[in-house]
Amino acid sequence: MFSRTHRDHPIDQNIQYLKTVGPKRAAVLKRLGIETVHDLLYYFPRDYEDRSQVKTAFETVHGEKATLIGTVTGVRETKPRPGLVVTKLLLKDGSGFFMGVWFNQPYLKKQFSPGQKVVLTGKIERLTGQVQVYASDFELIEEGEELLQEGRIVPAYPLTEQLSQRLLRRIIKKGLDEWAHRLREFIPPHLVEEYALPVLPAALKEVHFPSSNLKAQKAKERFIWEDFFLFQVALGLRRLKLTRISKPHHYLPHPDILEEFIERLPFTLTAGQNSAWREINRDLDKAGPMYRLLQGDVGSGKTVVSLLFLLKAVGSGLQGALMAPTEILAEQHYLSLRRLLKDSGIEIGFISGGLRKKERLLFLERLRGGQISIIVGTHALIQDDVEFKNLAAVVIDEQHRFGVRQRALLQSKGHYPDVLIMTATPIPRTLALTFYGDLEISTIRELPPGRKPVKTYLSTDMGSVYRFIRRQVDLGRQAYIICPLIEESERFDVQAAVELEKELSSGIFFRDCRVALLHGRLKTNEKERVMKSFYSGDVDVLISTTVIEVGVDVPNASVMVILGAERFGLAQLHQLRGRVGRGSQESYCILASDSQSEDARERLKTLTRIADGFSLAEADLSLRGPGELTGFRQSGLPGFKAADLIRDQRLILQVRREAFKLLETDPELTCRDNMLLREELQARSMLNWGGG
Ligand code: ADP
Ligand code: MG
């Protein structure tokens, strides 16, 4: 997300033009996400190995890993048995003779000649009185050339096929030599000074080929700083921009439609729903557009709140849009809106990918003309040809699937609508500031009254799980069975689901039950048909891939079984669990897993103990630490190169303060000290997140 895309700058040219690369290697590097020289320089090591402490042969200890330097006195090759070639390099250092040993790498023999100096690292064996190095790596020492692979702290990078550490180190070194000195520090000088940040070219060199551990550490910190800083400045700029805009539309204080709707609701709003609605209302009265995040646990009733918002717009003669992350979810919203607003005379449209061209055109026409008051869809809603008459209220459901960029795109339509973003993934405050630093936040803390927590169990015995489902079905309830998540591709997920459906619908457990299958590869109208029959109770057991993860709301469903539960993240499991427990009856979530891993079981057990999403997010944090938190990785949120959102929380706040302080004094980044920063943001396409 933060790669530079600014093709004018020579450092953003394709990597294949770098000496030592060429088209073939460029293709390999591309698999690592390295397409330009800039990408290459910002491809940071995952680790280092300290090979800077060179020992003499005499000093080495049996069994240790050590680095030695010696002069070649000879090479020998033996073939002790078929299929085994042993290359032995005889070397001499100040303390005596030793030997480097390699297996099945016959081509090595030709690389060495007597008199040559070699540095090598490997495991030491001293059994026979002779010092042998089972060399994992080596490098020839050439006069006047800097060592890359040996005799120093060496970087270890995440790799891919056909790319070795040795080669990648060489390519990166080449990139550094040619390009690093041309980069100029863009973090403003007073900050570089105050935080003692190593400046750009030097920091790049040190992060790849550090001259000491401390320097490596400092360089890494600098790039973490950089990640956060650019992001926060971009958010800050966006926020500033939004506050300067005044929206073109006005709301009536109490539209009839809205008042009637609230009166007719079959329940009273919870305190949390009420206060969120008050906060939204206050925003709607302001001159600038609302930009608010509504967070609340699964089932806390966010949808109703968003409906009030949409109805306020419609009742004021304006248009509203509801955007969901998946087609199924969008459709469900559409159907339930239709149900809720049945006799209101409000025209609701559903823009699906399955529309035929003619239908679509007609549809868009009516949207442009204002005949359609509320439109529901996926991000197809923000495509170019979708135009509104007077779009005022936008709801984005399940935000974690949308990135900052997509949020910004909406505004670029020029309407500056009020935007409400909903997420059921509770996140700690610092993270919220990081991701949603441009948003105000409302939180619904409680669930509607009368909800019983979903009883959650861990099980390995599928027979009894299926029997249990059967008993629930016999009581008139419905059940979900979620197929295991298979990482590599959706195709495998679908395959697994198809097979499971075959097995279960012909097996004994669900004889006479109505079993249906749902997955992402079904045609839209088939999905629709399946979901409809599940809503209406015509299907008892729904076997599904994770396409139903978010938002689906069928109160009569009382069992959620998740197969291969260990493969899901906690947050995702919690989301899935949230599909049940929506009515007043007792409901169950069964995590089926035969994983033997201690970690996995511990994680799943957390879920059986903890019912609410906020506590779960915290437990998740402390259990697993950063990376995987609640599916943030796959969600298109910032692709920080060096930063770790959890580990570096304190830093985030510090950097955020600095970024905002900077913008207070120079909101356009036009001061001399901030020019390069502006350029860098531009190069990374981070300058115009506000669109327009
Ligand atoms: P989520 O926050 O997960 O999107 P939903 O909006 O889907 O939750 O609401 C979950 C269920 O709770 C829905 O069936 C909804 O009708 C119901 N609900 C919402 N608010 C209340 C309330 N105040 N009292 C009782 N039920 C409510
Ligand atoms: Mg929802």
CA distance 192 to 330: 47
Residues near ion ligand 2 (CB < 5 Å) are: 551
Using pLDDT thresholds of 50, 70 and 90, give the confidence band for residue 640. low
Ligand 2 centroid, distance to 107 Cα (angstroms): 62
Is 333 contained in some domain? no
Q: What one-character DSSP code corresponds to residue 414?
A: S
Is 35 contained in some domain? no
Phi-psi region of 96 (alpha: psi -120 to 50; beta: other; left: phi over 0): left
Ligand 1 neighbourhood includes 581 CB (under 6 angstroms): no
Last residue of a domain, one of 151, 169, 197: 151
Is 107 contained in some domain? yes
Q: Which phi and psi angles does 573 have, rounded to 5°?
A: -60, -40
Ligand 1 neighbourhood includes 584 CB (under 6 angstroms): no
Mean pLDDT, rounded, for 448-461? 90
Sequential DSSP letters for 45-63: -SEEEE---EE-GGG--TT
pLDDT > 70: percent of the chain: 88
pTM surpassing 0.75?
no
Q: How many domains does the chain have?
A: 2
* pLDDT at residue number 511: 87
Domain holding 516, by residue range, is: 455-610
Ligand 1 neighbourhood includes 326 CB (under 6 angstroms): no
- pLDDT for 637 beyond 50: no
* Spatial contact of 534 and 554, defined as CB atoms under 8 Å apart: yes
Ligand 1 neighbourhood includes 302 CB (under 6 angstroms): yes
| Identity of the highest mean pLDDT range in 8-22, 82-96, 417-431 | 82-96
Ligand nearest to the CA of residue 399, numbered in listed order: 2
Is 382 contained in some domain? no
Ligand 1 centroid, distance to 302 Cα (angstroms): 7
Tokens of 646: 């959890």
Q: Which of 230-244, 427-441, 453-467 has the lowest mean pLDDT?
A: 427-441
Using pLDDT thresholds of 50, 70 and 90, give the confidence band for residue 646. low
Last residue of a domain, one of 131, 151, 171: 151
Ligand 1 neighbourhood includes 691 CB (under 6 angstroms): no
Mean pLDDT, rounded, for 121-134? 90
* Shortest-distance Cα residue to atom 12 of ligand 1: 301
Long-range (24+ apart) CB contacts under 8 A made by 253-262 are 255/311, 255/312, 255/314, 255/315, 255/316, 256/315, 257/311, 257/314, 257/315, 257/344, 257/346, 258/308, 258/311, 258/312, 258/315, 260/344, 261/307, 261/308, 261/311, 261/340, 261/341, 261/344, 262/308
Ligand 1 neighbourhood includes 270 CB (under 6 angstroms): yes
* pLDDT at residue number 328: 74
* pLDDT at residue number 691: 45
* Shortest-distance Cα residue to atom 1 of ligand 1: 299
Ligand 1 neighbourhood includes 276 CB (under 6 angstroms): no
Please list the residues that pair with 420 across neighbouring strands.
Answer: 292, 395
In this structure, what CATH number is given to the domain that contains residue 459? Answer: 3.40.50.300
What atom of ligand 1 comes closest to residue 583's alpha carbon? 14
What atom of ligand 1 comes closest to residue 302's alpha carbon? 2
Instruction: Give the number of other Cβ atoms within 10 Å of residue 371's Cβ.
Output: 11
Sequence-distant (≥ 6) Cβ neighbours of residue 459 within 8 angstroms: 465, 590, 591, 592
Is 483 contained in some domain? yes
Is 448 contained in some domain? no
Ligand 1 neighbourhood includes 269 CB (under 6 angstroms): yes
CA distance 518 to 543: 6
pLDDT digits (tens, 9 = 90+) for 57-109: 999 999 999 999 999 999 999 999 999 999 999 999 999 999 999 999 988 88
Ligand nearest to the CA of residue 445, numbered in listed order: 1
Phi-psi region of 196 (alpha: psi -120 to 50; beta: other; left: phi over 0): left
Ligand 1 neighbourhood includes 296 CB (under 6 angstroms): yes
Choose one of 397, 421, 553, 577 to mutate for the ligand 1 pocket test, by most ligand atoms within 8 angstroms of C-beta: 553
Last residue of a domain, one of 101, 121, 151: 151
Is 364 contained in some domain? no
* pLDDT at residue number 585: 87
Choose one of 303, 421, 425, 582 to mutate for the ligand 1 pocket test, by most ligand atoms within 8 angstroms of C-beta: 303
Mean pLDDT, rounded, for 105-122? 91
What atom of ligand 1 comes closest to residue 555's alpha carbon? 14
Ligand nearest to the CA of residue 324, numbered in listed order: 2
* pLDDT at residue number 630: 35
Residues of the chain by 3-state class (helix, strand, coil), percent to 5: 45, 20, 40
* pLDDT at residue number 91: 95
In this structure, what CATH number is given to the domain that contains residue 68? Answer: 2.40.50.140
Is 498 contained in some domain? yes
* pLDDT at residue number 427: 65
CA distance 537 to 557: 9
CA distance 566 to 548: 18
CA distance 541 to 544: 10
Q: Taking all residues of the chain, what is their mean pLDDT, rounded to a whole number?
A: 85
- pLDDT for 636 beyond 70: no
Ligand nearest to the CA of residue 336, numbered in listed order: 1
CA distance 386 to 365: 9
Ligand 1 neighbourhood includes 272 CB (under 6 angstroms): no
pLDDT digits (tens, 9 = 90+) for 486-519: 655 666 777 888 888 888 888 888 988 999 998 8
